[in-house]
Amino acid sequence: MSHLDGASQARIRTVVEDLEQVLLDFIRDHQITHAEYRTATDLIIDSVKSGEESLLFDVFCEAAATDVGNVGRQGSLEAIEGPFYLPGAPALSGPLNVMPQRDDEKGEPLLFHGIVVDTDGQPLGGVELDLWHADAEGLYSNIHPNIPDWNLRGRFTSEDDGSFRVLTILPPPYEIPKDGPTGTVLRALGRHFFRPAHLHVKLRHRDYAEMTSQLYFRGGEYLDADVANAVREGLVIELRTVDDPTEVAERGLDRPYVEARYDFVLAPTSQA
């Protein structure tokens, strides 16, 4: 088993040889010295070893790759996964799924709901939604310290009518780790470190292509200035504040919350 299993020999030759040529031209065009070359490779190695995972590349490049995949796509838009997805999040039980959280989890309650359909608009039950996002401090469990494992990470399933509902908290705009190598690069470029508030979600069903989305909130800070340049119009959802006591009580909640809806379209495996 190698990383390149599944890629055709022709494709590998085409893209790897072109990448090689681009980098060689780059080195000559900019007269990159050996010291600069080694600085770059050390920085890349450090960014991985220091636990930033793919952060450096995800901030600079991942959105371009998802844009390529979205051209002509039949399912909902895909979005960047970012560096902090982890498989194996706790399975929640519906119909109102509650994300794993601390007793005193900070942040406004968020009810995120919608339906999952196929490309003909038929509701799809049994779709696994794998949701993960930052806490009110902008930190991710299992990545940043002093957070219970799997906090604000959970998997749940759409109902027979395609609907899903999950109760969590509204994440804030997120400052990416700025004390590591990626931060060093961004600082040197004079850029800030913020991403707009977002939810990450993957959807899976045996008969459909797995997809990765990321949703942002209308009116939020940094929508136009995402350090990862990954916001796309179709990924921005509306937030509605629910503070009518009757409506709050009907939901079984004890304080005002915000609600957001997004409907997903899954594409068949062969023609995502």
Instruction: Check residue 82 for interaction with ligand MBD (CB under 6 A).
Output: yes
Pick the piece of the chain touching ligand MBD (CB under 6 A) from 64-72, 82-90, 159-167, 244-252.
82-90
| Residue 83 interacts with, from Fe ion, ligand MBD, none (CB under 5-8 Å by kind) | ligand MBD
Q: How far is the CB of 257 from ligand MBD (least distance, A)?
A: 23
Pick the piece of the chain touching Fe ion (CB under 5 A) from 76-84, 89-97, 104-112, 219-227.
76-84
Instruction: Check residue 82 for interaction with Fe ion (CB under 5 A).
Output: yes
Q: How far is the CB of 105 from ligand MBD (least distance, A)?
A: 18
Instruction: Check residue 172 for interaction with Fe ion (CB under 5 A).
Output: no
Q: What share of the chain is helix, strand, coil (3-state, %, to 5)?
A: 30, 25, 45
Q: Among residues 155 and 195, whose Cβ is nearest to ligand MBD?
A: 195
Tokens in use for 95?
Answer: 């119909």
Instruction: Check residue 171 for interaction with Fe ion (CB under 5 A).
Output: no
As to burial, measured by CB atoms within 10 angstroms (0-12 exposed, 13-18 middle, 19+ buried), residue 168 is buried
Cα torsion 35, 40, 44, 46: sign: positive
Q: Which of residues 25-64 bind ligand MBD (CB under 6 A)?
A: 55, 58-59
Alpha helices, DSSP H, located in the chain: 9-29, 34-47, 55-57, 63-70, 181-189, 245-250
| Residue 80 interacts with, from ligand MBD, Fe ion, none (CB under 5-8 Å by kind) | ligand MBD
Alpha carbon distance 242, 215 (integer Å): 20
Q: How far is the CB of 80 from Fe ion (least distance, A)?
A: 8
Instruction: Check residue 215 for interaction with ligand MBD (CB under 6 A).
Output: no
* DSSP type of residue 4: T
Residues 6+ apart with CB under 8 A from 99: 92, 131, 152, 153, 154, 166, 167, 168, 169
Instruction: Check residue 223 for interaction with ligand MBD (CB under 6 A).
Output: no
Alpha carbon distance 193, 195 (integer Å): 7
Tokens in use for 176?
Answer: 């990416």
Residue of 56, 77, 84, 109 interacting with ligand MBD (CB under 6 A): 84
Residues 6+ apart with CB under 8 A from 98: 92, 166, 167, 168
Q: Which of residues 155-174 bind ligand MBD (CB under 6 A)?
A: 174
Contact residues for Fe ion, defined by CB under 5 A: 82
Contact residues for ligand MBD, defined by CB under 6 A: 55, 58-59, 80, 82-84, 174, 176, 195, 228
